[in-house]
Amino acid sequence: DSGVTQTPKHLITATGQRVTLRCSPRSGDLSVYWYQQSLDQGLQFLIQYYNGEERAKGNILERFSAQQFPDLHSELNLSSLELGDSALYFCASSARDRGGEKLFFGSGTQLSVL
Amino acid sequence: DQQVKQNSPSLSVQEGRISILNCDYTNSMFDYFLWYKKYPAEGPTFLISISSIKDKNEDGRFTVFLNKSAKHLSLHIVPSQPGDSAVYFCAASALGGSQGNLIFGKGTKLSVKP
């Protein structure tokens, strides 16, 4: 158990709809990262938040948005969903040691857009 | 354009033998490299990392080798065990590992046969 909690585990919806994915980082971790894993693709970095502020942005579509709340949990909002948005969405929080920064991933939310 | 490439989608090895997973990168700014392991229905978990100031890092049965001139790294697992069967992701970052927005390869599925 990584200590990162993601809900829901599975989500089935229709094209054009809007969904919200939720993530609670490990206790004490201030950063939250969102990644997307599509079929035959590696993990694509979407966005990072640190203590409520957006820190870095990756390949995130304009239809997608995220936020981090004062209690440090984060939500990823996906709107106007398309078939191609079907993927596994991972949230991660990070810890830094002498070797650098390491990500701790949740078990993911499997999104199916029908 | 993929900055981190894992050209072998799959690898099959006999139990007790060595598993060698390869990874190539194109961005010369990368200075911190990690390997993550992923079982089905779970999020990726950190396995081992290496900074660009080193060319080898060892942790038990796992050793990562870095060849900066060739922009190549490899993960050696010796001896391989059936429990090592998983998807292995290579990841890289710049700026001394201070960025958590790691760039991941597409993964290599390792199967260790008893």
Strands in A19-24's sheet, in edge-to-edge order, are A5-7, A19-24, A74-78, A64-68
Percent of chain A with pLDDT over 90: 77
Cβ density class A72-90: b for 16+ within 10 Å, e for less: bebbbebeebeeebbbbbb
pLDDT level of residue A2 (50, 70, 90 thresholds): confident
What's chain B's average pLDDT? Answer: 92
| B24, A34, A86, B25: CA torsion to nearest 10 | -10
A34–chain B nearest CA distance, Å:
9
pLDDT level of residue A5 (50, 70, 90 thresholds): very high
* Alpha helices, DSSP H, located in A7-89: none
More confident residue, A101 or B73: B73
- Please state the rounded mean pLDDT for residues B23-48: 92
In three-state secondary structure terms, B114 is coil
Span of A54-63, A101-110, B69-78, B88-97 with lowest mean pLDDT: B88-97
Q: What is the pLDDT of residues B62-111, one digit of tens each?
A: 999 999 999 999 999 999 999 999 999 999 988 655 555 688 999 999 99
B56–chain A nearest CA distance, Å:
13
Q: What is the pLDDT, as a whole number, of residue A109?
A: 97
Cβ neighbors of B78 (< 8 A, separation 6 or more) are B18, B19, B61, B63
Number of neighbours of residue B26 by Cβ within 10 angstroms = 12
For chain A, positions 2-31, list CB contacts with chain B under 8 A: 2, 4, 31
Contact list, A92 vs chain B (CB under 8 Å): 43, 100
Q: What is the pLDDT, as a whole number, of residue A56?
A: 87
Distance separating alpha carbons of residues B49 and A100, to the nearest angstrom: 9
Span of A61-70, A89-98, B16-25 with lowest mean pLDDT: A89-98
Q: Is A33 exposed, middle or buried (0-12, 13-18, 19+ CB in 10 A)?
A: buried
Q: State the residue for tokens 């391989």.
A: B80
- My answer on whether omega of the bond before A8 falls inside 30° of 0, hence cis, is yes
Would you say residue A88 has pLDDT above 60? yes
Determine contact: B97 vs chain A, CB below 8 A: yes
Distance separating alpha carbons of residues A72 and A27, to the nearest angstrom: 9
Span of A65-69, A76-80, A99-103, B12-16 with lowest mean pLDDT: A99-103
Would you say residue A58 has pLDDT above 90? no
Q: Which residues is B91 bridged to in the sheet?
A: B34, B104
Q: What is the pLDDT of residues A15-34, one digit of tens each?
A: 999 999 999 999 989 999 99
Determine contact: B88 vs chain A, CB below 8 A: no
Q: What is the pLDDT, as a whole number, of residue B96?
A: 54
